[in-house]
Amino acid sequence: MANVVVVGAQWGDEGKGKIVDWLSERADVIARFQGGHNAGHTLVIDGKVYKLSLLPSGIVRGGKLSVIGNGVVLDPWHLVMEIDKLRAQGVDITPENLMVAENAPLILPLHGELDRARESQNSVAKIGTTGRGIGPAYEDKVGRRAIRVADLADEATLALRVDRLMMHHDALRRGLGMEPIDRDALLAQLREIAPQVLPYAKPVWKVLTEARKSGKRILFEGAQGALLDIDFGTYPYVTSSNVIAGQAATGTGIGPGAIDFVLGIVKAYTTRVGEGPFPAELKDADGERLGERGHEFGTVTGRKRRCGWFDAVLVRQTCATSGMSGIALTKLDVLDGFETLKICVGYDLDGVRLDYLPTAADQQARCTPVYEEMEGWSESTAGARSWAQLPGAAVKYVRRIEELIGCPVALLSTSPERDDTILVTDPFED
- What are the catalytic residues? 13, 41, 141
Residue 305 among known ligand-binding residues: yes
Residue 18 among known ligand-binding residues: yes
Residue 112 among known ligand-binding residues: no
**Are 387 and 352 contacting, i.e. CB atoms less than 8 angstroms apart?**
no
What is the C-alpha separation between 286 and 7, in angstroms, rounded? Answer: 27
**Are 231 and 318 contacting, i.e. CB atoms less than 8 angstroms apart?**
no
SS3 content of the chain, % helix, strand, coil (to 5): 40, 20, 40
In three-state secondary structure terms, 220 is strand
Residue 406 among known ligand-binding residues: no
**Torsions phi, psi for 368 (to 5 deg):** -115, 145
User: Which DSSP letter does residue 237 get?
Assistant: S
Residue 276 among known ligand-binding residues: no
CA-CA distances (angstroms) from residue 205 to 36, 147, 244? 19, 19, 19
Residue 240 among known ligand-binding residues: no
Residue 333 among known ligand-binding residues: yes
What is the C-alpha separation between 128 and 301, in angstroms, rounded? Answer: 11
In three-state secondary structure terms, 304 is strand
Residue 42 among known ligand-binding residues: yes
Residue 93's CB is within 10 A of a number of other CB atoms, namely 17
Residue 128 among known ligand-binding residues: no
Residue 21 among known ligand-binding residues: no
Q: Which residues contact 146 (CB under 8 A, 6 or more apart)?
A: 105, 106, 137, 140, 161, 165
Residue 175 among known ligand-binding residues: no
Residue 87 among known ligand-binding residues: no
Residue 206 among known ligand-binding residues: no
Binding annotation for GTP: 12-18, 40-42, 305, 331-333, 413-415
Binding annotation for Mg(2+): 13, 40
Binding annotation for IMP: 13-16, 38-41, 130, 144, 224, 239, 303
Binding annotation for substrate: 299-305
Binding annotation: 12-18, 38-42, 130, 144, 224, 239, 299-305, 331-333, 413-415
